[in-house]
Amino acid sequence: MGENINELISNLKTYLEYLKGMGIISIPVSDDILEELTPSKILTLEMVRKELGDCKRCKLHRTRRTIVFGEGNEKAILMFIGEGPGNEEDVQGRPFVGKAGQLLTRIIESINLSREEVYIANVIKCRPPENRNPEPDEIESCHPFLLRQIHVIQPKIICALGTFSAQTLLNTNAKITALRGKIYDLEGIKVIPTYHPAFLLRNPDKKREVWEDMKKIAEWLNNSRINEME
Ligand code: URA
Ligand code: URA
């Protein structure tokens, strides 16, 4: 790895000198490339939040009260990603604090973790009017910021809550019923899709399946702790 990077830098230097020789003394660099070049260590959630600013990138800014960025441990091993803020979240500016949120808190505690130990975010950061489903353009506008949050936190596991989260993270149109029960890989991060807590409130008989998914997560966390001790 180290050698490859040295070679890359050397080649890049040669190339830049070649450009300079041709009279090209500056090159436009897109934000995307700059981001690639920024080591994850120096990018912080605070910086991502600052960049998001008083976001007006999609139409939801007109009706939202607050931006619900996400909260929890910046170094979390486990991250939960929901759909988008509801009314209570929109009022408080915090994710998962309404009825579904209280259930999520209990789900997290069922595997002996606290909300403070994990990180909780959403696919979209502003509440859609009347809690309608997020629209593709809204998901697209917000996606780079979700990816940046994941990039900073570098979780080992993401638990995707519900259809929109699972579909967005896994880039698929498959239904949550088809997606859950399996473990997916997102650039080295395990993605475990499960039912959304709001869905569980309406379908309590599905709690058993979520419990199965949580046990899988807990087992994986325990094994990775044991491996770290060895
Ligand atoms: N539902 C979500 O998907 N996210 C929240 O933050 C709250 C409810
Ligand atoms: N439909 C959803 O949108 N989410 C679920 O978790 C289950 C069904």
Report whether 225 contacts 157 (CB < 8 A). no
Can you name the residues that pair with 222 across neighbouring β-strands? Answer: none
pLDDT band at 12 (very low <50, low <70, confident <90, very high): confident
Q: What is the pLDDT of residue 53?
A: 98
Q: Which amino acid is at 84?
A: G
Residue among 4, 6, 1, 125 nearest 54 (CA)? 125
State which ligand 2 atom lies nearest to the alpha carbon of 203. Answer: 7
pLDDT band at 13 (very low <50, low <70, confident <90, very high): confident
Q: What is the pLDDT of residue 5?
A: 79
Ligand 1, residues at Cβ distance < 6 Å: 82-86, 89, 95-96, 98, 100-101, 122, 198
Ligand 2 centroid to Cα of residue 30, in Å, is 37
Q: Among 20-29, 58-67, 160-169, where is mean pLDDT lowest? A: 20-29
Ligand 1 centroid to Cα of residue 13, in Å, is 47
Contacts of 7 (CB under 8 A, 6+ apart): none
Model confidence pLDDT, tens digit, residues 176-205: 999 999 999 999 999 999 999 999 999 999
DSSP annotation string for 173-205? ---HHHHTTS-EEETTEEEEEE--HHHHHH-GG
- Which residue segments constitute the domains of the chain, with CATH numbers given? 55-229 (3.40.470.10)
State which ligand 1 atom lies nearest to the alpha carbon of 197. Answer: 1
DSSP-assigned letter for residue 123: S
- The whole-angstrom separation of Cα 9 and Cα 200 is 52
Report whether 97 contacts 137 (CB < 8 A). no
Asked whether the predicted pLDDT for residue 30 surpasses 70, the reply is no
Closest ligand to Cα 100: 1
Q: Which amino acid is at 198?
A: A
Supply the pTM of this predicted model.
Answer: 0.83
Q: What is the pLDDT of residue 14?
A: 81
What are the C-alpha distances in Å from 168 to residues 16, 52, 220? 38, 19, 23
Report whether 155 contacts 130 (CB < 8 A). no
* Percentage of the chain lying above the pLDDT 70 cut: 93
